[in-house]
Structure 1
Amino acid sequence: MKPTRWLELGLSTLLFTLLFAWYSWPLAAHFTTAFPGIPGHDANQYVWNAYNFRQAVAEGSNPFYTSLLLYPQGTSLVMHTYTPVIGLLNVLLRHEILAVNVALLLSFVLSGVGAYCLCHRWVQNPVLCAVAGLVFAFSPYKLAHLPEHYNLLLTATVPFYVQAFLNAFAFRAGRLWPQVRSWGQVSLCVALGLLTLLSDYYVLMGLVYFSAGFALYYGLRLGQINWRHRRPWLLLGAVLVLGHVASRLLKSAKVFDNDGFWWSGDVAGYLLPPLNSRWLSTGTTEALHHNEHVFNTPASIENVMFLGYALPLLALWWLVRLRRQPVSTEPHAARSEPALAWLLLLFIMLTLPELRVFGKQVLRLPTSLVHYLPLLNNIRVPTRFVLFVSLLLPLVLFPGLDEWLRGHLRPVWRTTASVGLLVIIVLEFQPTPPPLLHLANVPRVYRVTAGLPGETLFTIPVGLVDGYRQKGQFNTDELFYQTIHRKKLPGAYISRVPQDRFDAFGREGVLRDLLALQQRPDTALAEPKPAAVKDFLRVYQPAAFVVAPAFRNTSAHLYLRRVLMPLGYREQTVDDYVLLAR
C-alpha cells in the first residue's frame, strides 16, 4: 500500500473517532462509568450480556445458557439478542461498561473506515470516500438506536464483507452461480459472516440479501434490460400487480406474517428527521412522528430511515442529469459495479414491503412476500435494512460525481465542494446528546444486598418479558443492577423464552400471588400455608426482597410483609427502596 493511502486511512480513522466522541458526548468523559441508555429500556441488557458471558467463561460453563435469570431453572440464550462479540471483548477487558463502550467505538470507527476503503474501489476523491464512510457509520438510523439497540450498531463487518465478496467471485450474465476468483477471499467472507452472526442477525440477514441479490442481478440479466422499450415496463407492471395481489391473498388467508407489516416502513421515515436530530427536528416534524395516523408505532425509533436531505437531493439531481444522456445497455459502461444500483433499489423495497406514504397504503411490493416465509419472517422490522441503503447510496452516486467534479472543477474547487458536502452531512446527522446510564446512579440498596448471604434477589415488581409475551412486570434496569449485586433473579427480560418455560413461570404459590397482586391490587387471596412459604424459601434461597419506590405500601408489598416478617425478616428503608431481609 502506498504511503499516501496509509495517511488517508490514518486521517479517516481519526475523523471517525472524533465524530464518535462528538456525536456520543458526554460518553467520552464517562467511558468506564456510564453507557448510552434510557432507564427501563433495552441498553441494560447489553451490559448484562457482557457480564453473563464473562461469568460463564470464567466458571467453565456454557455461555449460551444462564441461571442468573429465571432462577432456579435458568434459560437458553441461543435465540436471545446476546451480542457474543461484546462478551468475548469483556473476557479480555473484564469490565462490562468498558467492554460495551469499546465495542461501540470500534464498530462505528471500523464501519466508517471500511466504507471509506470500499468507496475507494471506484472513487479517487478521498473526501467523497470519507463522506461515504460518514453516511454508513453515523447514519441517523444508527444514532437514533444508540441509546437502545447496540446489536444494530455492530456493523463493522459489512463493508469489509462486501469488499471480500467482490474480490472472491466473478459473475457472468445468465448464471446465478459465480466463478471463484480467490478462495482466500471466500474464506474471509465466511469468517466475516460468522463474526456478524455473533453480532446481530438483522445485519447478517442483510449480507445474505446482498449476496443473493447480487447473484440475481446477473442470473436474471437485469443489467441488460433496455428500458427504452415498452416490454420491460409492461413486465415490471405485471410483477408489481402480481406481487400486490399475492400478498393480499396471503393476508386474507391469515398466513402468519410475524407482524412484519405492522412494522413496515413509511416513506415519511425517509423524509422526517429523527426526534434526536440536533438541527433538523422541529415542532412540525415531531408532531408527525407522534401522529398515529402516519405511523403504527408513533415516536418509535423503528420508524427512522432518514438519510439527511443533501445526499438524496444530490441523487435526485444526478438522476435528472442521467435522463439527458444516452442510455447504454452495456454493463461495463457503468463507472462502478452495476449491480449496486439494483441492490440499492432492492434494499429500499425491503424497508417498504407495504408501500405507505404518510400513513396511506399505496401498494404491497413484491418484497412483502418474504414476510410470509418461515424463518425469513423472523426479520420482522424491515426498516432496519435502511442500514444497507446508507452504504449503497454513496457507492452508486459518488463514482459518477467524482468524475463530474474532475471534469468541471479545478482541484482546489473540487476539494472545497467535497469538504462542503462533508460538513453539511456532519451537521445534518448531528444528534442531541444521548442519555447515559451511570454506575454512580445505581440505587444504594443493590450494593447493600450484594453483601447479604443467599442465592437470589427478589424484586418487586417481578415478571417475565420475552418480546412477544409478558407475565407480571420486569424493569430492565434490574439487568444492569445484577452486575452489581450478583444475585440471581427469578424473573427475566430475555428474547424467545420457550413456551413451556414461559407457561411454567409463576405457577408456584407465593410467586403466583405476587404476580396477581401486581396486576390487580384488589385481588382477594387466601394467606399461603406455612409449608408453602417454607418450600418457596427453600427453592429460591432469597438473600433479600427489594420493593421499588412505586410499589411501596401496595398490595404486593403488604403481602410480603405479612408472609415474611413472622419468619424473622426485618424491614428497612434504603433511600426510597424497601429492603426485607433476615
Structure 2
Amino acid sequence: MKKLKLFLILFFGYAILTIIMTYPVVFRFSSHFMCDGGDGFQNVWNMWWMKKSLMAGTHPYYTNLLHYPAGITLLFQTLNPFNGLISIPFQFFFKMEEVYNLVVLFSFVMSGVSMYYLVDYLLDRKLPAFVAGIVFTFCPFHFAHGLGHLQLIAMEWIPLYVLYLLKTYQEDRKINAILTALFWVLNSLCSWYYMIYCFVFTVIFVIFYMIKCGRKIIDNGFLKRLGMTILIFSVVMSPILMPMLYVKMTQNFTGEHNPEIWSADLESFFVPSGISTWGRRWFSGIWKDWTGNTAENSNYLGYIVLILSIYAVVKDRRCRFWAVAGLIFFVMALGPYPHIGGKQFSIPLPYLLFHRYIPFISFTGVPERFDIMLKLCMSVLVGYGITNLNEIILSIFKNKMRSRSITAMRWRIATVKIVFNGILAVLIGLEYLAIPYVTTKIEVPSFYRQMAKDIEHYGVIDIPSRPVTLYMATIHQKSLVGGYVSRPSLKALSFLDQTPIISTLMRGKPAPPSKLAQTLATSVFADFNIRYIITHNDQHLQFLEDILQLPVVHRADGITVYDCH
C-alpha cells in the first residue's frame, strides 16, 4: 500500500509538471496532435494498425494496406508495438488525436517516475530523485523527438532496465535478472535504438566493474545472472529478431541514415536548439547551421545540470561509473567525425569503427540519439550532486539551530530541503522550457469518411505520398498504393518504379503517349483493383484529366478525386 501511494504521488506530480511543460496541449487535447506534420502521423497509423491487425488475427509485422497490392514487411518500420498495444483500449472510446496524445503524455510522466526509482535506489533520497526525474523526462531530447518520433518519446523503460541491471549485480535474486530481461524487451518494443543502447550500457557496465572489482564480478554470480537475462531476452524477442535477420540478408532496403549527417554538433550540447523556447528566440543564428534537423540536434545539456554533474563527479567517488558511461555516450553521439558549427572535421572518432565493423551499430545510423543515454547518466549525476549539496546546507543549518527544539529543527530542515530542491527544479525546468509545444490540427476531407462507409475493398493512390497520408488511411481504411514506410525494400519500390502509369504518378517517370497511356491505365487499374486517385495539388492535373480523361468525382476540401473504375 505504501508503494502504491508513493507511485500515485509520483505519477500525479509528474503529470502536473507535464501539463505545464507541454503548454498549450491541455487546451488542444481533443483537436490537435502532439507532433508536427511529419513522422507523427506514421505513428498514428502504427497504433491504428496494431489494433486492426490484432482484432483481425493477422500478423502485425506484415500488411497489404501499404504498398498495395503486394504489401510490405513492417519488421523495419518504426512500429513501436508497445505504444500500439497500450493504445488499443483507448481507441475504442476516444478520437485518434486523444489516443496519440495520451500515449505521448504517458511517456513523459512515466519517464520521470522511472528515473525517480533509479536514483532513489542509488541514493535513498526522495527530493534529489524527483529532481533527477525532471532532468530526464523534460530534457531537450524528449521534447525534440516529441515532434513525431513516438518510438523515441517512449524513454520510460530505460531507467528501469538500468535499475534492475544494478540490482542483478548487487543482489543474488533471480527475479532481478528476469525483470532486467522484461525491461529490455519493453525497450525493444518501443525502439530498436533503445534495445541497442541497453546492450551498449550493459557492455560498459560489465567492463567497468571487471576492471574495478576483478574476480568479484565473477565470484558473486553476476555474470551467471546476466546470462539468464540475455537468454530470456533472446527467447522472447527471437520471433521478431530472427525474421529481421533473415529478411535483412535476403532483401535490400532503402532509407538508411547517413551518420555523417545525423551526428551531434559539439555546439548543440551548449546552445539551446530550435525546440527550446530560448533557442527559437535568441540562438537561431547558431543552430540553423547544424546538420540534421531540430528533432535530431537538440542535445542541450543545460548549465545547471552540467554544473551539478561536474560537482557530483568531483565530490563523490560513487559517480565514477556514471561519469565514464556518460563520457562514452557523449563521444558516440558525436558520430564518425566531429561537427562544430555545422562544419565537419576529418578526425575519426570511435563511432566510425563501430559503425563499420559492428552490424547492429551500423543499423542505427543516427549517432545523435546516443544523447538520451548521456542524459540518463547526467540525471543520475544531478541526483548525486543535489544530495551532496543538501548535506552541506543542512549541516550549516543545523549548527545555527542547536538551541531549538527537535520538532522545530525537523520542520525547518524539511522546509530548507524542499525550498532548495524546489528552486533547482524550477531553474532546470526554465532552462529546458520548450513552450509552446508543437501541435498540429488536421482537417479530414469529407471524401475520406465517405470511402470508409464503402464496404468494398480496393486500392487507392493518394499523392503526393506524405506521412499525413497514413493518417487519412486510418479514416478511409482502404489499401494505399505506396505509402510512407521507415525502411521500404527495393522489392516493394520496384512495383512503383516498373508499373506503367503508377510509375508516372508516384515516381515521376515519363508518361506514355496518350492512347497507350489510356489503354495501360485501364488495364493497370482493373488488374490491381485501384478505385480512386486522390491528389492534393495540380501537379498531375493535365495527365489525369486531359490524357487519361478520368472523371472527377470530388473536388473540395483541398483534394481532387478521380474515379479509376
- Tell me the TM-score normalised to structure 2 length: 0.81
Distance 1:222 1:384 in 2: 31
Which residue of structure 2 aligns with residue 144 of structure 1? 144
Which of these residues, 524, 531, 534, is aligned with residue 536 of structure 1?
524
Which residue of structure 1 aligns with residue 158 of structure 2? 158
Which residue of structure 2 aligns with residue 580 of structure 1? 562
Distance 1:489 1:114 in 2: 39
Distance 1:11 1:460 in 2: 47
Which of these residues, 59, 72, 77, is aligned with residue 75 of structure 1?
72
Which residue of structure 1 aligns with residue 88 of structure 2? 91
SS in 2 for 1:580: strand
- The Cα shift of 1:209 comes to 0.9
Aligned pairs (5 A) from 1:20-169: 20-39=18-37, 41-95=38-92, 96-169=96-169
Which of these residues, 543, 555, 558, is aligned with residue 542 of structure 2?
558
Which residue of structure 2 aligns with residue 512 of structure 1? 503
Distance 2:349 2:561 in 1: 56
Aligned pairs (5 A) from 1:201-240: 201-221=192-212
Distance 1:362 1:50 in 2: 42
- The Cα shift of 1:317 comes to 4.7
For residues 99-128 of structure 1, what are the alpha-carbon distances to aligned partners after superposition, in whole Å with 9 as ceiling and x for unaligned? 332222222111111111111123344222
Distance 1:474 1:534 in 2: 22
Which letter maps to 1:22?
I
Give the 3 Å change call, closer, same or farther, for CA 341–181 of structure 1 in structure 2.
Answer: farther
Which letter maps to 2:391?
R
Does 2:294 match 1:300?
A: yes
- The Cα shift of 1:280 comes to 5.0
Which of these residues, 444, 447, 451, is aligned with residue 449 of structure 1?
451
Which residue of structure 2 aligns with residue 343 of structure 1? 325
- The Cα shift of 1:196 comes to 1.3
Higher deviation after alignment, 343-352 or 445-454? 445-454
Which letter maps to 1:117?
Y
For residues 348-381 of structure 1, what are the alpha-carbon distances to aligned partners after superposition, in whole Å with 9 as ceiling and x for unaligned? 1211233333336374333431111223211211
SS in 2 for 1:34: coil
Asked if 2 retains the 8 angstrom alpha-carbon contact of 1:455 and 1:540, the reply is: no
Aligned pairs (5 A) from 1:165-564: 165-170=165-170, 181-221=172-212, 259-283=258-282, 285-291=283-289, 295-297=290-292, 299-317=293-311, 322=315, 334-335=317-318, 338-353=320-335, 354-358=337-341, 359=343, 361=345, 363-373=347-357, 374-409=359-394, 410=397, 411=413, 412-438=415-441, 441-452=443-454, 454-456=456-458, 458-459=460-461, 461=463, 473-515=464-506, 518=508, 525-528=513-516, 531-548=519-536, 550-551=537-538, 554=539, 556-562=540-546
- The Cα shift of 1:158 comes to 1.0
SS in 2 for 1:506: helix
Give the 3 Å change call, closer, same or farther, for CA 71–258 of structure 1 in structure 2.
Answer: closer
Distance 1:310 1:397 in 2: 9
Distance 2:490 2:562 in 1: 32
Asked if 2 retains the 8 angstrom alpha-carbon contact of 1:128 and 1:418, the reply is: yes
Distance 2:108 2:44 in 1: 18
SS in 2 for 1:122: helix
- The Cα shift of 1:504 comes to 2.9
SS in 1 for 2:562: strand
Distance 2:214 2:368 in 1: 27
Which residue of structure 1 aligns with residue 409 of structure 2? none
Asked if 2 retains the 8 angstrom alpha-carbon contact of 1:131 and 1:422, the reply is: yes
SS in 2 for 1:288: helix
Give the 3 Å change call, closer, same or farther, for CA 481–557 of structure 1 in structure 2.
Answer: same
SS in 2 for 1:273: coil
Distance 1:12 1:533 in 2: 60
Which letter maps to 1:266?
D
Distance 2:541 2:346 in 1: 52
Asked if 1 retains the 8 angstrom alpha-carbon contact of 2:50 and 2:85, the reply is: yes
| Identity within the alignment, % | 22
Higher deviation after alignment, 56-65 or 532-541? 532-541
Give the 3 Å change call, closer, same or farther, for CA 78–454 of structure 1 in structure 2.
Answer: same
Provide the aligned C-alpha RMSD in A. 2.7
Which residue of structure 2 aligns with residue 13 of structure 1? 11
Asked if 2 retains the 8 angstrom alpha-carbon contact of 1:26 and 1:433, the reply is: yes
Structure 1: where are the runs of 5+ without partners?
171-179, 225-256, 323-332, 462-472
Which letter maps to 2:557?
D
- The Cα shift of 1:305 comes to 0.7
SS in 1 for 2:194: helix
Distance 1:27 1:543 in 2: 38
Distance 1:417 1:364 in 2: 43
Asked if 1 retains the 8 angstrom alpha-carbon contact of 2:157 and 2:183, the reply is: yes
Distance 2:257 2:561 in 1: 42
- The Cα shift of 1:165 comes to 0.7
**Bigger helix fraction:** 2
For residues 377-422 of structure 1, what are the alpha-carbon distances to aligned partners after superposition, in whole Å with 9 as ceiling and x for unaligned? 1121111111111121131343254134223333243332211100
Higher deviation after alignment, 400-409 or 417-426? 400-409
Asked if 2 retains the 8 angstrom alpha-carbon contact of 1:111 and 1:133, the reply is: yes
SS in 2 for 1:51: helix
- Tell me the TM-score normalised to structure 1 length: 0.79
Asked if 1 retains the 8 angstrom alpha-carbon contact of 2:36 and 2:147, the reply is: yes
Asked if 2 retains the 8 angstrom alpha-carbon contact of 1:510 and 1:528, the reply is: no
Distance 2:489 2:461 in 1: 23
Distance 2:503 2:349 in 1: 47
Give the 3 Å change call, closer, same or farther, for CA 401–459 of structure 1 in structure 2.
Answer: same
Distance 1:510 1:355 in 2: 45
For residues 201-253 of structure 1, what are the alpha-carbon distances to aligned partners after superposition, in whole Å with 9 as ceiling and x for unaligned? 111111111111000102234999xxxxxxxxxxxxxxxxxxxxxxxxxxxxx
